[in-house]
């Protein structure tokens, strides 16, 4: 399948480099809004059709007629116009912004449920990193409450990320519930100013009732291995921890909460275009490419 990318910033450019390595999809066009952006310059040197007129310029490119999938790496606000424009031409769109117009998709968890959706939302970087873990825990025991903390290098947070922080927390919290299976979810993002920059770190806290610790641990480890198939730098930082909850947590759930499950992760980027510390961006582009490749496989099978 042929793909086009909207957004010539860090995320769109990293995605382009990943797509150029793929054997299942072919990236043929990139649209941006900054004529002098590094992303458009690199795309042009690699033979892609380019435009600095955004999605409106993209649909005027002759290559657009043959595009099957558009991947949007812009912003939540811009995605609304991009999605409407692209879908008018019958193209499917994968959304890397927190706009959440389409269903939340986390490849390791629920891609099969939404393989026919015309607009698939990739939640957020924190969501892609932590929701698989929440889903792994909830597959073994009821998760009454899940809280995630995503710590990313300040240098890896560009203007798009900073402009969408409110959407990040709201979108991620909803997806923790809808995809991860938690009764209630909360998301926190931390922009770490450390220099040299630190790689992405994610902490997942789940409040549960009584559960088989070995089963939960095995489920988490299996899920981490599944995500690592398309995000090689995704890994557990230490063993899954179980802490007894002595006092009742009545403000969260009427059901008894006896255990806090704590999972600590880190995500190192593949450094295709971005620095290795920018795992928060790498996991988004890797997840989006995973979806595009699965769509290509499904299309070939059909």
The string of pLDDT tens digits covering residues 186-209 is: 999 999 999 999 999 999 999 999
Look up residue 260 and give its two tokens. 């806090």
pLDDT class of 281 with cuts at 50, 70, 90? very high
Question: Per-domain residue ranges for the chain?
Answer: 2-122+283-301, 125-277
Residue 110 annotated as lining a ligand binding site: no
* Closest CA relative to residue 39, chosen from 30, 49, 47: 30
Q: Give the active site residue among 125, 216, 283, 284.
A: 125
125-277: CATH number: 3.30.360.10
Does 171 carry a binding-site annotation?
no
8 labeled part of a ligand binding site: yes
Angle between helices 10-21 and 279-301 (to 10 degrees): 40
Whether 125 is catalytic:
yes
Establish whether 9 is an annotated binding residue: yes
Per-residue confidence (pLDDT) for residue 302, from 0 to 100 = 61
Does 161 carry a binding-site annotation? yes
Asked if residue 226 lies in contact with residue 133, where contact means CB atoms within 8 angstroms, the answer is: no
Fold of the 2-122+283-301 domain: Rossmann fold (3.40.50)
Predicted model pTM: 0.94
Residues with Cβ within 8 Å of 41's Cβ and at least 6 positions away in sequence, in order, are none
């Amino acid at each position: 399948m042929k793909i086009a990318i909207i957004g010539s910033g860090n995320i769109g450019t990293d995605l382009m480099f990943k797509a150029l390595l793929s054997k299942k999809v072919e990236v043929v066009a990139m649209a941006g809004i900054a004529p002098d952006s590094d992303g458009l310059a690199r795309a042009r040197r690699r033979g892609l059709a380019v435009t600095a007129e955004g999605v409106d310029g993209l649909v005027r490119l002759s290559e657009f007629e043959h595009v099957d999938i558009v991947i949007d790496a812009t912003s939540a606000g811009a995605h609304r116009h991009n999605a409407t424009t692209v879908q008018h031409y019958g193209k499917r769109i994968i959304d890397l912004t927190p706009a959440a117009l389409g269903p939340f998709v986390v490849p390791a968890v629920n891609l099969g449920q939404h393989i026919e959706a015309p607009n698939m939302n990739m939640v957020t970087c924190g969501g892609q990193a932590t929701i698989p873990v929440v889903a792994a825990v909830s597959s073994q025991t009821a998760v009454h409450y899940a809280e995630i903390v995503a710590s990313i290098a300040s240098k890896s947070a560009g203007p798009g990320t900073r402009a969408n922080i409110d959407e990040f927390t709201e979108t991620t919290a909803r997806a923790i519930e809808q995809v991860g299976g938690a009764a209630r979810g909360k998301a926190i993002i931390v922009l770490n100013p450390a220099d040299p920059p630190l790689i992405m770190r994610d902490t997942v806290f789940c409040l549960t009732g009584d559960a088989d610790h070995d089963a939960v641990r095995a489920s988490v480890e299996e899920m981490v291995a599944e995500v690592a198939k398309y995000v090689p730098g995704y890994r557990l930082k230490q063993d899954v921890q179980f802490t007894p909850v002595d006092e009742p947590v009545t403000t969260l759930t009427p059901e008894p909460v006896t255990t806090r499950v704590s999972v600590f992760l880190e995500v190192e980027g593949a450094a295709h275009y971005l620095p290795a510390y920018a795992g928060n961006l790498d996991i988004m582009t890797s997840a989006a490419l995973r979806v595009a490749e699965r769509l290509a496989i499904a299309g070939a099978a059909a």
